[in-house]
């Protein structure tokens, strides 16, 4: 059904959700065309939190621009920084020490767990359950404490630098992480008791927001949202970077394609991240935490691309260099933007009550979409 | 067998709700497991880790001496133009000119606490303090001078 923008059939109702709405987790503006209770069209309007990070990066040096990217997908700030550092390292052609690689992977996985924890709490809150939010934040808080101790900040760490990491691990790091793992294993059953097994939750998630495998591929959906539809797209497995090819972990796939499948992918993914951390935490090799780099970094003329798996999907960093100290052009392929594009597809024909639930399972971070 | 399936479903539904309520009730009666802290009240016992990146400060020793040579490495490293170093030329007793800092201007209002300046400093003259309550009523108070008045460069720092 092709409709002109702004023109609606008689009896249709247009509702604006956002830009300031608690369930959109940011300044996302949705224009919804309704026929009774049935959604005919969802049109996301973007740009409310556009800060032109890509343009800003063009005037910053290769060391400086990394901090900007923490402000894109702030829930997986480490992984964003990691992607940028990897791209610059690719351009410089430097080998980074093994200790730095292990530290980076450890931090990435901790970030992934923290991000999924927050998503889980916010997801339940979208459906009207407020208690799970605090349960999720309890575990997330201990990750944030670990980050604060080692990196110096809780959310926008800026810990990855070209050549390795900014400073060595804090002496307490291993103990803190082990304490967290213990706490996590004691408490993870609560997640199933409170939300996953709940009949109301299941009825609202199962069979709702269906995304087929073909649609997921054609919309460019990545990350847990696509893996819920059976699309194998984990960059850590398919195009391994750092030491991911030496690690033993599973790519979580669910085939149902509904909201509940996307929910289960994230919950199971947290356990895989725990598995990765357990493999590494006792085997952090000794050595340098940073490779020797020049004071002023200059990338050779050319184009460099690196992709990583963030908590939301595939993040690609594309740098065009003219041989100077600043990039000529930077482009980020952010997972949030592509994942948002399928929102219309998965909610069309459904009820308006299911819109927020379906949107919650896509795990949108609005600053990542607008950049 | 429709009625059996239906009853099973009802039983499962009621059970799932009770399991969830049980979890909520558990925390209702186990106050020791509550880890929430009330922020302004816990200020006394609030311990931030030493690496926590608050504002940039310059360490001075008891002789009012610092380690900043005025090389501007931090100024170049800063992505936001937070730091501005104004240099002067001291004339030593032998009549030689020597570069030294006159004012180390630090704009806290522009700072994102990324820590790149501390990383770039070759003499470890600046570091990041553990403070985080930066609110003031006058914006001008956020522009700070980091070197103390009449402070000198530590001997032996080049």
Contacts of B115 in chain A (CB under 8 A): 152, 158, 166
| Angle at which helices A355-362 and A259-281 cross, to 10° | 20
Quote the DSSP letter at residue A43: E
Residues 6+ apart with CB under 8 A from A336: A73, A312, A313, A364, A365, A366, A368, A369
Nearest by Cα to A341 from A19, A17, A44: A44
A194 touches chain B (CB under 8 A): yes
* Per-residue pLDDT, A7: 58
Q: Calculate the dihedral angle through the C-alpha atoms of A169, A72, A80, A119, rounding to the nearest 10 degrees.
A: 80
Q: What are the two backbone dihedrals, phi and then psi, of residue A33, each rounded to the nearest 5 degrees?
A: -95, 125
In this structure, are residues A71 and A332 in contact, taking their beta carbons and an 8 Å threshold?
A: no
- Here the tokens at position A160 are 């990855």
CB distance A152–B12 less than 8 Å? no
User: Please, which residues have CB within 8 angstroms of residue A226's CB and are 6 or more apart in sequence?
Assistant: A216, A217, A233, A313
Half-sphere exposure of B6 (CA within 13 A, CB side): 3
Residue A142 contacts B, CB cutoff 8 Å: no
3-state DSSP helix/strand/coil % of chain A, to nearest 5: 50, 15, 40
User: Could you report the per-residue pLDDT of A220-277, keeping only the tens digit for each?
Assistant: 898 888 888 888 888 888 888 888 888 888 888 888 888 889 888 988 888 888 888 8
Distance between B33 CA and the closest CA of chain A, angstroms: 10
- Residue A179 CB burial class (10 angstroms; 0-12, 13-18, ≥19): middle
User: What is the phi/psi pair of residue B28, to 5°?
Assistant: -70, -30
Contact between residue A177 and residue A281 where contact means Cβ atoms under 8 Å apart: yes
**Chain B residue at shortest CA distance from A60:** B79
Model ipTM over 0.95: no
Is residue B158's pLDDT more than 70? no
Give the tens place of pLDDT for each residue, B34-69: 778 888 888 888 888 888 888 888 888 888 888 888
pLDDT value of position A4: 52
Stretch (H or E) spanning A40: strand A38-45
pLDDT one-digit tens code per residue, B69-86: 888 888 888 888 888 888
Q: Does A60 touch chain B (CB under 8 A)?
A: yes
Cβ of B16 within 8 Å of Cβ of A198? The answer is yes
Q: For domain A13-370, give the CATH number.
A: 1.10.645.10
Distance of residue A3 Cα from the nearest chain B Cα, in angstroms? 42
Q: Where are the domains positioned within chain A?
A: 13-370
- Give residue A2's pLDDT: 47
Cα(A347)–Cα(A151) distance, rounded to whole angstroms?
40
* C-alpha span between A175 and A179 (Å, rounded): 6
Cβ <8 Å between A152 and B20: no
Q: Which residues of chain A have pLDDT under 70?
A: 1-9
Closest Cβ–Cβ partner in B13, B22, B24 for A199: B13
- Give the 3-state secondary structure of residue A74: helix
Give the C-alpha separation, A119 to A139, whole Å: 13
As a whole number of angstroms, the distance between CA A367 and CA B25 comes to 37
Torsions phi, psi for A14 (to 5 deg):
-110, 125
Region class of B124: left (phi > 0), else alpha (psi between -120 and 50), else beta: left
Among candidates B17, B112, B128 on the partner chain, residue whose Cβ is nearest the Cβ of A199: B17
- DSSP one-letter code for B25: H
What's the token pair of residue A279?
A: 């493999």
Q: How confident is the model at residue B137 (pLDDT cuts 50, 70, 90)?
A: very high
CB of A155 within 8 Å of any CB in chain B? no
Give the 3-state secondary structure of residue A362. Answer: helix
C-alpha gyration radius of chain B:
28
Report the C-alpha gap between A43 and A344 in whole angstroms. 7
Query: CB-hemisphere CA count at 13 Å for A132?
Result: 26
B79 vs A138: CB contact, 8 Å cut-off?
no
Cβ A355 vs Cβ A347: under 8 Å = yes
- Tokens 């770039």 belong to B120
Average pLDDT, chain B: 83
């Amino acid at each position: 059904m092709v409709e002109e923008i702004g023109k609606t059939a008689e009896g249709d109702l247009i509702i604006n959700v956002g830009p300031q709405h608690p369930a959109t987790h940011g300044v996302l503006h949705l224009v919804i065309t309704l026929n009774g209770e049935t959604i005919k069209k969802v049109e996301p309007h973007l740009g409310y939190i556009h800060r032109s990070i890509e343009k800003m990066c063009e005037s910053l040096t290769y060391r400086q621009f990394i901090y900007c990217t923490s402000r894109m997908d702030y829930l997986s700030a480490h992984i964003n920084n990691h992607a940028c550092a990897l791209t610059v390292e690719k351009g410089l052609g430097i080998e980074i020490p093994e200790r730095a690689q292990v530290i980076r992977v450890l931090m990435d996985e901790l970030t992934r767990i923290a991000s999924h924890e927050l998503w889980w709490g916010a997801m339940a809150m979208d459906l009207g359950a407020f208690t799970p939010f605090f349960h999720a934040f309890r575990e997330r808080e201990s990750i944030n404490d670990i980050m604060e101790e080692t990196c110096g900040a809780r959310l926008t760490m800026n810990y990855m630098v070209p050549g390795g990491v900014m400073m060595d691990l804090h002496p307490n790091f291993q103990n803190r992480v082990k304490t967290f793992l213990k706490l996590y294993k004691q408490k993870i059953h609560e997640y199933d008791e409170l939300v996953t097994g709940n009949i109301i939750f299941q009825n609202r998630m199962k069979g709702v927001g269906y995304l087929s495998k073909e649609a997921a591929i054609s919309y460019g959906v990545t990350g847990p949202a696509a893996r819920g539809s059976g699309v194998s797209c984990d960059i850590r497995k398919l195009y391994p970077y750092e030491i991911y090819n030496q690690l033993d972990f599973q790519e979580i796939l669910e085939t149902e394609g509904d909201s509940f499948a996307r929910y289960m992918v994230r919950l199971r993914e947290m356990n895989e991240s725990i598995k990765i951390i357990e493999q590494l935490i006792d085997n952090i090799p000794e050595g340098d935490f940073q490779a020797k780099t020049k004071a002023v970094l200059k990338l050779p003329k050319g184009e460099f691309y690196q992709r990583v798996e963030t908590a939301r999907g595939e993040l690609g960093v594309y740098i065009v260099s003219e041989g100077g100290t600043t990039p000529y052009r930077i482009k980020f392929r952010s997972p949030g933007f592509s994942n948002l594009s399928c929102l219309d597809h998965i909610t069309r024909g459904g009820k308006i009550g299911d819109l927020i639930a379906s949107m919650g399972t896509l795990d949108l971070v609005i600053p990542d979409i607008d950049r | 067998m429709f009625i059996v399936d239906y009853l099973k479903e009802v039983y499962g539904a009621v059970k799932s709700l009770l399991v969830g309520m049980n979890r909520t009730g558990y925390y209702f009666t186990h106050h020791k497991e509550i880890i929430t802290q009330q922020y302004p009240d816990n200020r006394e016992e609030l311990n931030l880790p030493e690496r926590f990146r608050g504002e940039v400060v310059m360490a001075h020793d008891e002789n009012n001496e610092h380690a900043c040579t005025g090389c501007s490495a931090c100024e170049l490293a800063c992505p936001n133009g937070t730091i501005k170093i104004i240099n002067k030329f001291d004339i030593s007793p032998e009549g030689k000119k020597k570069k030294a800092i006159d004012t180390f201007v630090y704009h806290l209002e522009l700072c994102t606490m990324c820590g790149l300046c501390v990383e770039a400093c070759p003499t470890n003259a600046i570091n990041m303090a553990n403070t985080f309550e930066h609110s003031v009523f006058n914006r001008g108070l956020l522009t700070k001078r980091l070197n103390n008045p009449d402070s000198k460069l530590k001997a032996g720092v080049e």
